[in-house]
Structure 1
Amino acid sequence: MSAADTAGVCSRCQQPIAGFAPPCDGVTAGYYLASAFPRYANEGDVYICDACMWRDPLYILDHGRIGND
């Protein structure tokens, strides 16, 4: 599936990404480009919303937790 086919939808939770406004060049703007973060991307991921990325065990291991998790 191409990025155009999934524009504005998180590959993990399938929810619309609030404030989706590409290009983000891999830097978080409410979402992550999976291709820019291969360490955390699962096969088939295109866009990952902030909420899903911050639930990723490897991401948490590297960056800790945020908010009220």
Structure 2
Amino acid sequence: MKIGKKILNHVIQNAHDDGIKSIYLGTIDKFEAAQHFYRKNGFHRIPKEEFPKDFPLVKVDNIFYYKDI
């Protein structure tokens, strides 16, 4: 298993252990490898409008993902 996958699994496990139900993230369209990684690991692309209202958005992010855990 590669390091990115190991880190992601660790983050997901810790979030789950802390009672977190979903993970949301933002990225930019130019980061195609990152988008592929997220999709490959069960994240689903969603419109910005489906993010929780209190989610701290980064101005440059224009693509958004979530994963239920």
Identify the TM-score tier after normalising by the shorter chain.
under 0.3
More relative contact order in 1 or in 2 (CA 8 Å, sep 6+)?
2
Question: Bigger radius of gyration, 1 or 2?
Answer: 2
Q: TM-score, normalised by structure 2?
A: 0.27
Q: TM-score, normalised by structure 1?
A: 0.27
